Structure 1
Amino acid sequence: MRPATASGRRAWLAGAFGLVPGLALAQADRPEPSSSATTSAKGGARPPRSLTLLVGGAPGGIADVWARGFAPYLERQLPRATVGVQAIADTGPLTAARMLAASPADAQLIGAVSAPVLLARAIEAGDAALLERLDWLAGIAEEPVILVAPPATGDFAALRALGANATLGVPPSGTAPGLLGDALRDQLSIGTLTFPSAAAARQAAIAGHVTAAALTLPEALAPVRDGRLVALALATRDRCPLLPDVPTLTERGVALVAQLQRGFVLPLGVPQRQRERLAAALQAAVADPEFIARGQAAGFMPRFSGPDTWPAEVQASTASLSRRWTQAPWAIGRG
C-alpha cells in the first residue's frame, strides 16, 4: 500500500466523518397479522412468530448487549412476535453479514449492524460488494465520538500543546474512534496507540497511561460523570444535549465529525409489506419514551433514518471510506 500524505488524510477525513460512522443493530420485521390472518387455515390461533437479531460479535460483547437491550423495544411494537438475539462469536461482522445475505428473504433473521465498522471490514477484505447484498432498512441510534483525558492532562489546549509528546489511545482501526484518531494524529501531530478494545483504551486513559483517548460517548460517559476522565471535546456538528457544556472539535479549531451509527439490515428480497411494517415498528421503538430515557442514561442518541434515507447515507459513507482506503489506508483492525 502506498503511504499517504497527511494532507491526503485530512482531505478525506474532513469530508467523510460526518456521513456515517457506525452502523447499528439489525432489523427484523414480521408483519403484525391482520384480522384476516390471525387464524390458521384450520381456524386455530396462529402462533407467535420468532424473529432473530443476528449480531457479528462475541456473546456478551458490546454489539450483543446492545441488541439484547433493544430487542424488548422492538418486540413491544410487534405484539405477535418474539425477538431473540444470536451472536456469532469471535468472527467479527463480516461472517454475520454474509450469513444474513444468504438467508431466506422472510424477515425472520435480521442483522444488527454498526457503522463504520462493517463498512471498513468489508472494504479491508476486498468485499465491498457484500454491502450491496444487504437491504439497509433503518438506522436507529447514533453514538458520538468524544475526546477524553485523565484530569492531569488538562484541557484541549494543553493536549494540543504537547504535540508529539502526547499519546492518544484509540480502539481498533476502522472504528469511528479509530478513524478519528487517524485524523487527530495528522492535524495535531500527536502519537496514537491502538488498543484491542474500547474498554482497554478507556482504562489506559483512566490510569494515566495515555494522554487522552478517543471513545464513543457510551464508553466514556460514566467515567466523565464521576470525574475519572475529563471531556475535552466532542466530534459532533453541534453540542450534545447529554453534555451541553462540552465544546465540539470544530469549536476547538479542528473541523472533524465522527459517530457510530446502529441500525438494522435485511437480506434482499423481503416483501415490501413486511419491510414497511418492520420499518414502522423500528420507528415507533425509537420514539418510545423509555428508549429515549435509556439513551440519555447510556450516552447514545436515538435517531431514526428509514428506508428512504439510510441506504443513501450508507452508500455515501462506503464511497468515502473506499477512497480513504485507496489513498491513506488504515491499519487492518478487528472488531
Structure 2
Amino acid sequence: MPHPTRRILLSAPALLATPAARAQAFPERALRMIVPFPPGGAADFLGRVAAEPMAKSLGQPIAVENRSGAGGNIGTAVAAQGEKDGHNILLNGLPYAVNRFLYPSLPYDPDRDFTPLAMLAVVPNIMVVSNDLPVRSVAEFVALAKARPAHYASIGNGTSLHLAGAQFTLAAGLEMTHVPYRETAAANSDVMSGRVEVMFQTISAAAGPVRGGRMRALAVTSAERVPAFPDVPTLGEAGVDLVSVGWFGLFAPRGVPADRAARLEAATVAAVNEPATKARILETGSLPRPLPAAEFGRFIAEETARMGATIRATGIRAD
C-alpha cells in the first residue's frame, strides 16, 4: 500500500497544473456567436468574416446564429441569458449604445450584463442625392435645404442611417423632415427619383447606384476617407464638423472568467489584423478597427454619451 505522504506528493503537481490545463483547454467545444440582426447585413457579414479566422485561432468552430428583432434587443437578451463560460458571445454595435435611449425599457442591462471583448470595424455612411439634384457639394446641398423644404430618408427610426441624418441636420443648422422606409430598395428608389432629397446610406447599399450614375455621393461620414470611394470627401473636409458611423464588436456575458475573455479578445484582434480579413472588410466600404477590450470600452462610453445627446435633442424613438 503506498505511503500516504507519497500519495499526496504525487497528487500535488496535478492539482497545481489544473488551472493552467483548464485555460489551455478553452474552448472545449464549438462557440456560438449571436448576431441580433438579420442575415445579409453589415453585422452578419462582419460576424462571419471574423468567425473564420477566430475559429482557426481558437481551435474550435464558431456557429453564427442570427436572432433578429426589436432593433437587436431580442438576440442581445438571448446572449445575456446564455452560458457565461466563454462559449457564448455576442456581436453588437451602435444599437448596444443607443437602444437605452430609443426604447422605454430593455430586456437586458448593457452596463451590467456584458463585458466588451474587442471591436471589429466601423461602418461609415455616405451622403447621397439624386444625380438630377442640382447640387455637387455638401455646401451646395446645405444652401438648397435652407432655401426650400428638404427631406432625408432612412431605413427606420433609430437606425444608424436615421441618426446620421439627424446629426447632420443639427450640425448644419437645417430643418429637414425624416422619411423612414422599411427596406433599402424603396429608400434608394425615392432618393434616385428625387422624391426625397438626401440619404445617409451604407456604402455597400449605395455603391451600385453611385457608380451607375443614378446617385451622387457628396461626402462620407467617417473621420477619414474610405478606400471604396477615395475621391469623396469627409463631412469634415466639406465643412460640417461631424463624424457619424456605425460600428460593431464582440461582447461576452459578464461573468466569463478573465483568462477566457482575454483569449477571446486576443483571437478577435488577431482575426481583424489578418490581411485577408482586412481586405474583405475594406471591400464593403467598412474600416477595420481591431480595438482591444479596454479601448473598445472607452469607445462605447464615448458613443453612448454622444449619441444620447443627439437622441435627447431630437426626440427620436424607435419604431
TM-score, scaled relative to structure 2:
0.82
Give the 5 Å matches for 1:1-335: 49-78=29-58, 80-115=59-94, 117-127=95-105, 130-132=109-111, 133-153=113-133, 154-156=135-137, 157-163=139-145, 164-186=148-170, 187-333=173-319
1:268/1:82 CA distance change after superposition, 3 Å: same
* Alpha-carbon separation, structure 1, partners of 2:243 and 2:186: 23
Report the alpha carbon displacement of residue 35 of structure 1 after superposing the two structures with TM. 9.9
Is contact 2:68-2:75 (8 Å) kept?
no
Distance 1:209 1:200 in 2: 11
Structure 1 or 2: more helix by fraction: 2
Cα drift, residue 260 of structure 1: 0.6
Give the direction of change, closer, same or farther, for the CA distance of 1:55–1:205 in structure 2 (3 Å limit): same
1:251: how far off? 2.3
Cα distance in 1 between the residues matched to 2:93 and 2:23:
35
Structure 2 CA distance for partners of 1:105 and 1:51, relative to 1, 3 Å: same
Q: Radius of gyration: which is bigger?
A: 2
User: Gaps (5+ residues) in structure 2?
Assistant: 1-18
Segments of structure 1 that go 5 or more residues without pairing to the other structure are 1-33, 41-45
RMSD, aligned α-carbons: 2.7
1:74, distance to aligned residue in structure 2 (A): 2.1
Write the letter of the residue equivalent to 1:148: V
Change (3 A) 1:209 1:323: closer
Correspondence for 1:9: none
Contact 2:50 2:268 in 1 (8 A): no
Number of corresponding residues: 293
**Cα shift at 1:89:** 3.9
Deviations 1:249-298 (A, max 9, x none): 12222111100111111100111111111111111111111111112221
Q: Give, in whole Å, the separation in 1 of the partners of 2:304 and 2:196.
A: 31
Deviations 1:29-55 (A, max 9, x none): xxxxx9956999xxxxx9961111101
Are the equivalent residues in 2 in contact too, given 1:57–1:91 (CA < 8 A)? no
SS in 2 for 1:193: strand
Percent identity, please.
Answer: 27
Deviates most, 249-258 or 178-187: 178-187
The DSSP-based 3-state class of the residue aligned with 2:290 is: strand
Q: Secondary structure at the match of 1:330?
A: coil
1:237 positional shift: 2.3
Q: Is the 8 A contact 2:27 2:87 kept in 1?
A: no
- Secondary structure of the structure 1 residue equivalent to 2:61: strand
**TM-score, structure 1 length as denominator?**
0.78
Question: CA 1:59–1:293 in structure 2 vs 1: closer, same or farther (change >3 Å)?
Answer: closer
Quick one: which amino acid aligns to residue 251 of structure 1? E
**Closer/same/farther in 2, CA of residues 126 and 51 from structure 1, 3 Å limit:** same
In structure 1, what is the Cα distance between the partners aligned to 2:219 and 2:120? Answer: 24
Q: 1:284 to 1:255 in 2, by over 3 A?
A: same
Runs of 4+ in 1 over 6 A off after TM superposition: 37-40
Q: CA deviation at 1:213?
A: 1.2
CA pair 311-297 structure 1, distance change in 2 beyond 3 A: same
Moved more, 219-228 or 279-288: 219-228
